[in-house]
Structure 1
Amino acid sequence: MILSVHLLLFFCCGLSLAQLQNDSQTESYISQTEFAAMKERLEVVENLLKDSKTRIQVMFTAATGGNGPIGPYNTATTLIYRTVITNIGSGYSPYTGIFTAPVPGFYYFTFFYHAGGEHVVALGLFKNDQLIVMITDHASNYDTADNGGNAAFVQLQKGDQVHVRMGANSHVWGSIHQTTFSGFLVTPM
């Protein structure tokens, strides 16, 4: 009888021990599975971070500078924005007023002006020598100030040039805050 009780007790303890080992193996397996999933997610985040650090960044903003009229001139003239505010990627030249694409891609450009109302305003955004978009305003004796702007998405190849050209007999007001030209790379190709 005592032997039967001992055998029964031994059998129950063995089952409990087997269940305990099985539970800890399951917990260990779940922990390893969760660890592998976390490791995989961490690798994805690290790759995204690495991509964002190595992604080519191109953006600029420049203003004409000065504090007075630019123009009117007898011929069309490339506006030179001498006051560089931002020039990441060094694509914009404050000496020529021309942005040169360092990489192929889709870019977004904006240009704004402030001018007196006594002269015509005609500004065009050009890709190489092709007009993309423009701004115009007529002369007026009663309108003392004009403001305008335009923008465009433009597909560029490496080396393509973008600039703002002021039409003949047109003018803008030179300023570090109002007459500006900006652009940035939206997505490389």
Structure 2
Amino acid sequence: VIFHAQVSDGKNPVAQKRVIYDLVTINKGLAYNPVTGFFTVPVPGLYQFTYSLLAQMTSERTAVYLMRNDENQSYLHSILKSGQAQSSSMDTILSLNRDDQVWVRLGTGSAWSGLGALNFQGVLLEAEED
């Protein structure tokens, strides 16, 4: 199970909403849904997720959260001065159950989607028995 997706140019996410990574480059296991933005766990086990942020130059504070169901698991936080830009990414390893949903939420600020700047990917590291 592995997926990688990014946000299309010009489809900048909205604060307090789920980020929809609509351009899928790989989706083995078909667990990532580019319409809803949810990765639904098909096999329980240890997964590694990576997500990235390019805070817009007009946004002073930007926060992006990796969610498991409705709970924050990790986050990226960017504080900028006017006219600056900052790119960052986060890796998180989670022990997940079948049908858990993992997704990314833009909490505050604004993120830029140009040039493949917003990415979300996950891979099954080790399967566990149900």
Q: If the length of structure 1 is used for normalisation, what is the TM-score?
A: 0.63
CA distance in 2, matches of 1:121, 1:99: 23
The answer as to 2:75 corresponding to 1:134 is yes
Structure ID, larger Rg: 1
Question: Which residue in 1 is equivalent to 2:56?
Answer: 116
CA distance in 2, matches of 1:106, 1:68: 31
CA distance in 2, matches of 1:160, 1:68: 26
Question: Which residue in 1 is equivalent to 2:90?
Answer: 150
Q: Which runs of 5+ in 1 are unaligned?
A: 1-57
Task: Read off the aligned partner of 2:78 and give its amino acid letter.
Answer: D
1:102 to 24, 38, 42: 42
- 1:113-168 CA distances to partner (integer Å, 9 max, x unpaired)? 2232221211000111111110011242141x111111111001110010001014
Give, in angstroms, the shift of residue 78 of structure 1: 0.5
CA distance in 2, matches of 1:181, 1:158: 20
Q: Say if 1:77 and 1:131 are closer, same or farther in 2 by CA, change over 3 A.
A: same
CA distance in 1, matches of 2:12, 2:31: 26
Bigger proportion of residues as helix: 1
Question: Which residue in 1 is equivalent to 2:7?
Answer: 64
Q: Which runs of 5+ in 2 are unaligned?
A: none
Q: Which segment is superposed worse, 132-141 or 152-161?
A: 132-141
SS where residue 151 of structure 1 aligns?
strand
Question: Which residue in 1 is equivalent to 2:20?
Answer: 80
Q: Say if 1:159 and 1:69 are closer, same or farther in 2 by CA, change over 3 A.
A: closer
Bigger proportion of residues as strand: 2
Q: Is the 8 A contact 1:114 1:146 kept in 2?
A: yes
Q: Say if 1:96 and 1:68 are closer, same or farther in 2 by CA, change over 3 A.
A: closer
TM-align CA RMSD: 1.5
CA distance in 2, matches of 1:148, 1:123: 10
CA distance in 2, matches of 1:87, 1:176: 20
- Higher relative contact order, chain-length normalized (CA < 8 Å, sep 6+): 2
Q: Is the 8 A contact 2:53 2:89 kept in 1?
A: yes
CA distance in 2, matches of 1:97, 1:173: 17
Q: Say if 1:142 and 1:133 are closer, same or farther in 2 by CA, change over 3 A.
A: same
Question: Which residue in 2 is equivalent to 1:34?
Answer: none
Task: Read off the aligned partner of 1:98 and give its amino acid letter.
Answer: F
CA distance in 1, matches of 2:114, 2:40: 23
